[in-house]
Amino acid sequence: MADDMARRPLRSRLPGHGRPAAPAAGSWPGGEFSGDEPPGDWAPARPGAARPGGSRPPRRASTWAAAALAAGTAAAAGYLAYALAAPPPGTGQAGPSARSAGQPAVTPSPAAPSPVVTSGGSGAGGGERGDD
Amino acid sequence: MSAANVTVRPRARDWSRVAVGSPDLAAADRDALGTTARIVTWPAENLPGMLAAVDAELALLDSQASRFREDSELSALHAAGGGTHRISDGLAEAVGIALAAAAWTGGLADPTVGGALIALGYDRDFALIGGAMRDGQALARAGLGGAPHGGGAPHDGGPPGGGACPAVAVPGWRSVRLAGNLLTLPPGVRLDLGATAKGLGADRCARAAHRAARHRGGVLVSLGGDLAVAGQPPAGGWPVLVADEHRQVRAARNLAARMAAGAPDRRAPGSDGRAAGPAATQLVRLARGALATSSVTCRRWERHGRQMHHLIDPRTGWPAAGPWRTVSVAAATCAQANAASTAAIIAGEDAVPWLAARGLPARLVGHDGTVALTPGWPSDEGGPVAIPAGDGPAGILLGVPGGEAGERA
């Protein structure tokens, strides 16, 4: 154990170490602030007030996220519009969005590989059953 | 006679399910109108609801327009003799379409050939006709005694090739008048609606079946090979096997059943209904409209030692003697296709230009086995039939009496 501790890299203090901890949500640090400026440089900026370091990185990240969200939504809407308007594969029939209101749903036609009926003049007692 | 007297008797509803080679389709057969009715539909769950609708249409048509049922409205009309009678809406439609077809075909598909058919022996349901008819027997049954009826003269030329028995002149469709539901028949005139009624029945049944399925999917209704479709067809169209002579029909039916069971199409010349030569069966696809086939190779009987058939040339009173033995025609409605295929058999040499001029796709098979096609009929196996987009004669296409029947009004 002692060897392990000895092999750990040396720790260095981060900038701001030793300052007061960040305030809990809804409370101001110090508890006795009464002026226009909050104590310390971590206090929230007032609207319109310039920050010394410019825009915060999280704000820039939100802008990119919003842009990506907008682009994704547009792409999804475009795909859905295409998918609903396109005919079902192999049918040549219009899709559901192409039919008028009140018409029955159009479903893809099945294949009929073999003859379903014979047309050859009607025989007595059975054109299909073939009683000569 | 009153239309209110017409009742629809319940008929035997013995539908039999048949396999048509796809689990997505369902089909059923039953005997009807002296032949076989078939329904094919998709999705398969449509079928049960359609059977009752088609049953009702078939029963109604049979009770109205059959000349073989003594209790039909048409038989009652004949029994009442000449004069003016009020008829039901359904029979008025059937007669109106028959008159429209007569006008459209220049009188070749004439509904007043009933007397001539009876005189030649076709006086009952064909299944009940014996192989031979004794001389004079048919005329006696018709109550004609060999005399001309309807004011016409006896046809003494005999059947093609000579013959001794007299024929009965056909009075002609212009002797019949239909004004609304009032039908006027000259004394002795017997109507035979065979050139259009079966097609009309297929049209009615297809519409009724599609309605019963709430216009979902598609349906094909065949009455003895005269078929009409409604709704959305299967991919590529309904596959229909067009046959020539009746033996091919039977063999083709067997072939279709085997193919439905998964066997490959191994038709070879001279086998399985595919005759050697160009008159072999042909598979076509029908996406809409209707298709009807008329043939002199079926519904034949013998009289005076001669073979008779049921397609009467109204110009002679004898069975048609043209060069075509089978004609298949596609049209917007089955009534129209049926009238055209009948007229083409009777028209003889003029049939091909007559059909082509009307834009009707057709396949004509000659007695020598040669095949002629009109534009719109596919030349390749499995090709689509191009149903004409334009409206045909309004009376036939719309099923509205009086469309082109000049003798109405």
Q: B65-185: what CATH class?
A: mainly alpha
B125, B198, B240 ranked by CB distance to A122: nearest: B198
Are the CB atoms for B300 and B293 separated by under 8 Å? Answer: no
Partner residues linked to B71 by β-bridges: none
A91, A113, A120 ranked by CB distance to B225: nearest: A120
User: pLDDT tens, A37-81?
Assistant: 444 444 444 555 565 666 555 555 567 777 777 877 777 766 655
Q: Which amino acid is at B96?
A: G
Query: What residues in A contact B232, CB-CB < 8 Å?
Result: 93, 106, 109
Q: What is the mean pLDDT of residues A3-26?
A: 52
A116 and B283 within 8 Å at the Cβ level: the answer is: no
A107, A113, A128 ranked by CB distance to B36: nearest: A128
Question: What's the token pair of residue A107?
Answer: 């479903």
Best of B25, B238, B259, B298 to disrupt the A interface (most A CBs within 10 Å) is B298
pTM: 0.67
Calpha distance A77→A3 (Å, rounded): 61
For the domain bounded by B19-61+197-393, which CATH number is listed? 3.10.520.10
Query: What residues in B contact A111, CB-CB < 8 Å?
Result: 22, 24, 234-236
**Cβ of A78 under 8 Å from any chain B Cβ?**
no
- CATH topology agreement for domains B19-61+197-393 and B65-185: no
- The confidence score (pLDDT) of residue A43 equals 44
- Give the E-state strand segments of B304-346 in sequence order: 306-309, 312-313, 318-319, 324-331
Chain Cα centroid distance, residue A52: 36
Calpha distance A2→A16 (Å, rounded): 30
Distance from CA of B307 to the nearest CA of A (A): 14
Q: What is the pLDDT along chain B (409 residues), one digit of tens a residue?
A: 444 444 444 444 689 999 888 899 999 999 988 889 999 999 999 999 999 999 999 999 999 999 888 899 999 999 998 899 999 999 999 999 999 999 999 999 999 988 777 777 666 555 555 544 433 344 334 333 332 223 233 333 344 444 455 567 788 899 999 999 999 999 989 999 988 999 999 999 999 999 999 999 999 999 988 999 999 999 999 999 998 865 555 555 566 666 666 665 544 433 333 343 445 789 999 999 999 999 887 666 666 666 666 788 888 888 888 899 899 999 999 999 999 999 999 998 999 999 999 999 999 999 888 899 999 999 999 999 998 765 555 445 545 444 344 333 2
| Residues of B (295-314) whose Cβ lies below 8 Å from A | 295, 297-299
| DSSP-assigned letter for residue B15 | -
Q: Please name the residue of chain B whose CA is at the shortest distance from the CA of residue A122.
A: B224
Q: Where are the domains of chain B?
A: 19-61+197-393, 65-185
Distance from CA of A132 to the nearest CA of B (A): 7
**Cβ of A23 under 8 Å from any chain B Cβ?**
no
Average pLDDT across chain A, whole number: 55
- The confidence score (pLDDT) of residue A16 equals 53
Distance from CA of B113 to the nearest CA of A (A): 18
**Cβ of A93 under 8 Å from any chain B Cβ?**
yes
Neighbours of B308 (CB within 10 A): 22
Q: Please name the residue of chain B whose CA is at the shortest distance from the CA of residue A92.
A: B235
Residues 6 or more apart whose Cβ sits within 8 Å of residue B353: none
Question: ipTM of this model?
Answer: 0.71
Question: What's the token pair of residue B342?
Answer: 């009948």
For tokens 């001279």, the residue is B270
